[in-house]
Amino acid sequence: MHRKIDDWFLGYKTRAVKAKKDGGLYFGNGRRSSAKPLKPGSGLANLRAAALKHPEVMVKIPKRLSSNSKGMRGVRNHLDYVSRNGEVPLETQSGEKLHGKRAVRGFADDWRKLGIPEESKHKEALNIVLSMPEGTPPEAVLNAARSFAAEQFAGHHYVFGLHHDSRDPDEPKHPHVHLCVLMRDGFGQRLNPRKADLFEWRVRFAEKLREEGVLCAATKRIHRGKTQKPENSLLRAMRRRGVLSNAARQQAAELMEALKNSDRPKHPFLKETLRTRGIVLEQYGQIAKELYKMGHKTEARIIGKLAKDVAGQDFTTKAQNQYDNIRARRPAIGPLQQQPAAEKAKQDKDIQR
């Protein structure tokens, strides 16, 4: 039963970044990957945690688009950022602790000697953030990140550091670890993570956190019935600076046109979303039924609760939410062209916000 749930939960057998070949996990040159399989029951453990509203773990690869993020210069800049210019201690894959800016720069020079060019068209290190919500013990997050990195990136050089507000009041309140991994391993094979790998990393990181006694979940939005994607961190940072991306401008223009014509935006993928929701609910029903037959009545009720929560989630899009909120605040206002100029300017500002 666990194997069936795990395969459905992940959507594929674990690949650990490297491509599949002949049903196994291999590197490009035919060597078998050393990534350990997930623990049996990971799928059910995370679904149970989601039903009980345990906090979701976060694993992301921040986008850095500047030329300063590539080559050895990019690696050095990122290590300075993670170490807060030497103020935050770093730890390497061998357990060595780096204290102070001189030690960090010396470590960067050791990486440079591995053949990393100062200027490059490619990123030479993968920057990963492993995070948990405010209130999670920082040391537990650090320990889990250490175990995750040792298991997932064996054969790679890497370094990591913990950011949290108990060390520096100016840091974000949620504890998070910045993990910097060299893209190439000792055999020259380059990391090439995809969206599915990020989810698998979340599941693996959640395993390590639970070993530290931290209650957490790692599930997809479809597992929880959530249809709206969270705001992209890069776009959120731009918005906070008062800068709108081209996509945001286009969305604002489309929303203004919809308000002008009193035409609520349509859900572009409602049919597909309904079909996916039905598949998920059917799977939950089968899992609950099997658990009940096996005598695990409490677990069956928990999965049943998750199914009920998912079934109750609506399908409203962000554009529809914005439209509804603006119309609710201005129920008596008709088409935009009939509004006073000051009122229309305020509504435009609401849309952009």
106-116 residue pLDDT tens = 999 999 999 88
Q: How many angstroms separate the CA atoms of 193 and 205, rounded? A: 16
Q: What is residue 91's predicted lDDT score, i.e. its pLDDT?
A: 97
Q: For tokens 């605040």, what's the residue? A: 329
Least confident of 4-13, 78-87, 187-196, 296-305: 4-13
Report the CATH number at residue 186: 3.30.930.30
Between residues 245 and 324, which one has the greater pLDDT?
324
Radius of gyration of the chain (CA): 24
Identify the band that residue 317 occupies on the pLDDT scale cut at 50, 70 and 90.
confident
The length of the chain in residues reads 353
Shared domain check, 278 and 191: no
Residue among 201, 244, 240, 232 at smallest CA distance from 63:
232
Shared domain check, 252 and 116: no
User: Can you give the residue range of the structural domain that contains 238?
Assistant: 233-267+316-352
Shared domain check, 292 and 213: no
Identify the band that residue 23 occupies on the pLDDT scale cut at 50, 70 and 90.
very low
User: Has residue 86 been placed in a domain?
Assistant: yes
Tens digit of each residue's pLDDT (9 = 90 or more) over 216-225: 999 999 999 9
Instruction: For the chain, count helices (H), then strands (E).
Output: 13, 8
Q: How many angstroms separate the CA atoms of 124 and 118, rounded? A: 10
pLDDT at 176 over 70: yes
| DSSP code at position 100 | S
Single-letter amino acid, residue 193: P
Shared domain check, 286 and 203: no
pTM over 0.75: yes
